[in-house]
Amino acid sequence: QAPGGPQAATRMGVPGVASLIAVASGKGGVGKSTTAVNLALALKDLGLKIGVLDADVYGPSIPKLLGLSGRPQTVDGRTLVPMEAHGLKAMSIGLLIDEGTPMIWRGPMVVSALRQMLMDTAWGELDAIVIDMPPGTGDVQLSLAQQAPITGAVIVSTPQDLALIDARKGLAMFQKVEVPVLGIVENMSTFICPHCGTRSDIFGHGGARHEAEALGVPFLGEIPLAMAIRERSDAGNPIVAAEPSGPHAAAYRAAAAAM
């Protein structure tokens, strides 16, 4: 059976791009975009050619995370030239519309915007495009999962019960449209105080591993709640690029290798 099952096999892929990996979450604010960008950088560090596509129409944050500004160039007035940062090719809905424009998108508009960014961007030869999906499991997300030629999905969750309930819905959504779930990442796992070294499980700990085991999908690893991850992201220099030999980059690389 083709990756993604019979449904996915009928969806047209992106020429030159071997796989499309959706990074999704059951709800907003769990660190989906941060995880997507750092996983993309970790995959690149593993020797792959990687692009990032920001499909989070409700809050596109990839430009800020990668320190990108300005508008992408076009060739022949139609094909978009992806921007480049930290060795990744990138395209974002946030680069195509004015910052501050309210995002009042209906499902079909989101799906066609994503399709355009996927198909009308000159990505070149890539091993994978990591897609930062809109958070949640509503109609929009379902049609994206159904209509985009996604090869596999990664679900990001915090260890909290409420987030896990939503993560379970995300998993069910991808299973429904026969997109294989590559695994679950537990983000904002343990916090280690930079002052005293005490470990605190602010949102709990181990919930996502347990959930992955219960649901029979791979557990990809834990990313700690760390000040440096947030600070590096805010500065447009994600932790995997900024501190490649640090422990956080190692955690992202381990998750990427498990995908």
Query: Which spans of this chain sit near ligand ADP (rule: CB under 6 A)?
Result: 25, 28-34, 61, 135, 187-188, 223, 225-226, 229-230, 233
Q: Is 29 annotated as a binding residue?
A: yes
- Burial of 76 (C-beta count, 10 Å sphere; 0-12/13-18/19+): exposed
Helix (H) or strand (E) holding 108: helix 107-119
Instruction: Give me the residues paired with residue 91 across strands.
Output: 53
Please identify, using beta-carbon distances, which residue of 29 and 87 lies nearer to ligand ADP.
29
DSSP 8-state class, residue 206: S
Q: Is 4 annotated as a binding residue?
A: no
Please identify, using beta-carbon distances, which residue of 141 and 187 lies nearer to ligand ADP.
187
Minimum distance of ligand ADP from residue 253's CB (angstroms): 15
Please identify, using beta-carbon distances, which residue of 5 and 206 lies nearer to ligand ADP.
206
Q: Is 207 annotated as a binding residue?
A: no
Q: How far, in Å, CA of 255 to CA of 242, rounded?
A: 18
Q: Is 64 annotated as a binding residue?
A: no
Q: Are 7 and 116 in contact (CB under 8 A)?
A: no
Please identify, using beta-carbon distances, which residue of 164 and 223 lies nearer to ligand ADP.
223
- The residue with its CB nearest to ligand ADP is 31
Q: Are 41 and 240 in contact (CB under 8 A)?
A: yes
Minimum distance of ligand ADP from residue 36's CB (angstroms): 8
Q: Are 89 and 124 in contact (CB under 8 A)?
A: yes
Minimum distance of ligand ADP from residue 26's CB (angstroms): 10
Q: Is 19 annotated as a binding residue?
A: no
Antiparallel, parallel or unpaired: β 50-54 and 88-92: parallel
Helix (H) or strand (E) holding 95: helix 93-96
Minimum distance of ligand ADP from residue 149's CB (angstroms): 23
Residues making up the annotated binding site are 26-33
